[in-house]
Chain A
Amino acid sequence: MVEQKLRATLITGRTIEQGVGKELGKGSVEYYDSCAVCFFDKSDMQKIGIKNGSTVKVTSKYGSVIVKAQRYPWGTNPGMVFIPCGSWANCITGDETFSMGMPLFKGFPVEVESAPNQPVLTLDELLLKQFGRNSL
């Protein structure tokens, strides 16, 4: 039975691909490919009927973003989704710092739904959408 929405806990953080991508340049294909993704447990993917490479919409209290879905390669973590840190992840991270200077980057609830045919924006498109400007 395919559900509409997956409620999950979001973790953002580094991946080696993101590390390589950021050093190659924030406008690089490698950066885009490594950061505009969301990792799922296999069971969660089945729950909302998505496959490797499907586009999904991840929504938090602070915003939403379209990214590509990927299966998390290590272990099983149902109920947890992971987006590599970068411009895409930060569309949905929060400004709550609990007066410690550190905003919400890890361990807060999000909702994920399948978003077929919706485009995954490039960095410049994303910046234009979020802040109304870019370098172009």
Chain B
Amino acid sequence: MTEILIKNGFVVDPLNKINCEKMDIAIKNGKVVAKVNEKNAQVIDAAGLTVMAGGVDIHSHVAGAEVNMGRMIRPEDHYKDPVRKTALTRCGTGYSIPSTFVTGYRYSEMGYTSVFNGSVAALKAKHAHEELNDIPLMDKATYILTGDWWFVLENLAKGDVDECARLVAWLMRATKGYAIKIVNPGGLESWGFGRNVHSIDDPVPNFGITPREIMRGLIKVNKKLNMPHTIHLHTNNLGVPGNYQTTLDTMKAFEDLSTDGKPVAHITHIQFASFKGENWGKFKSGAEEIAKYMNAHNHMTLDMGQVTFSDTTTMTADGPFEFSLYELGGHNKWVNSDVETESSGGIIPFHYKKNSPVNALQWSIGLEIALLIKDPWKIFMTTDHPNGGPFYDYPKVLAWLYSKKAREATLKKCHKSAKKKSLLPSIDRELSLYEIAIMTRAGTAKALGLPDKGHLGVGADADVAIFNINPETLDISQKFRTARKAFANAAYTIKDGTIVVKDGQVVNSQIPGRTFWVDAETKDPCKIDDEMKRKFRDYWTIEFENYPVTDHYVKVSDRLERKASV
């Protein structure tokens, strides 16, 4: 294996408290090491460049049934973005839902090296893994929709958290999943008959349980299983005006569950859950309330779900939400995809426009929350790809975060009512490279429980991104476009100790990346007896034996073993 020495770069490594210090990073056998023999090593002269760990995306829909359905129904989305085959890379298409190979290449070109797939129904987990295998250059993992899995609902309704934990441990192993994903808890089951829940205390029809009980139960399960990540939550009432109250209720409901000051839940795409006002006409930002709460509490982490003003495709397991979006009118394509016994789903193509008062304010809300929450370890940068915008709009989002000038330039073009309601003019905060590194790699790696990611200390995975930004000479807040360009085209991306991108171009497409999955070892395994198999046959339309994702579905497997306390 090659040795690499990155010399004289400005290293930004928040996990090791290194802020723009000029130093060398040595790489050997896919790991960061203390030093290498300079004579044998490939030397990268990083003088005048910024060196960070490879980006870790905590929430992005890159693979699975929902994503692929989005691809299938949107040929018009691909027409505008064909990607040619080269001697090194496969061909494909963009735009809002790029084909798998293109997804890998484009992430890598931005200096990202890991991506965590937003949600997958367990029944279709094989599909997600097949696609993840076709995303090169990235480490990846997928969250499994657990919140409306019938076994979870039944056991939590009974109050049997331990048995629920054993079943979830089995589920994670069976689906090669990484974390417990909860989407609109209770709402997805209700949607089976076309209904929904509207608060965290609404009863779920036929199951005698409430969303509050589901979420709290699964947090306990998550703790008992000692999962690396917290629960990953998409809140009730997502995308509904006035839902910031539901979000606050949800956060308050978990306060007592954090005992050691550590986060117990991650609320994803918070922007969509921070709407104020009784209806769309009176639509306002709830960012202030959410940020205020977050600044006073430490038991949650968030990601942005930033809107980027593009013609994109919304997709979520929240079937009722997509239907209400369809009902708002103006949309012709509506896909609903319920999954028996566990989930639902929906897709609607959506064009976020600056001249729409609602869309423009949504853009503002995402940034407001990110900027008003003082601690960058609590909120991470995402667009909920492709829901708020495609992931390759990340450099744009970063520019809005580190440059008030960039925000003003965009706000100027926004609808006047949004301009009036936006809190952005009152916010002067501009993020530093250090804070950006937290929001894009260090913080996400920490929240995900990945000790070898997100930093460049000795022993870390040799996933490195080098950007053409000289912190001594370039004022990123003023020259935001220059910096944006640098973030869009990494000078170098190193994956597992191999240079895969140079000057924003893929130079090696043959690094497959690993798939992380969690194997929580419980003291007693869950009972898989004939009774269980019979139940399985009743609940699903496939046999118990054919449900799990077998080993060969994971191209390069990286099993994270955890000791559970049940």
Answer whether A and B touch in the complex at a CB cut-off of 8 Å.
no
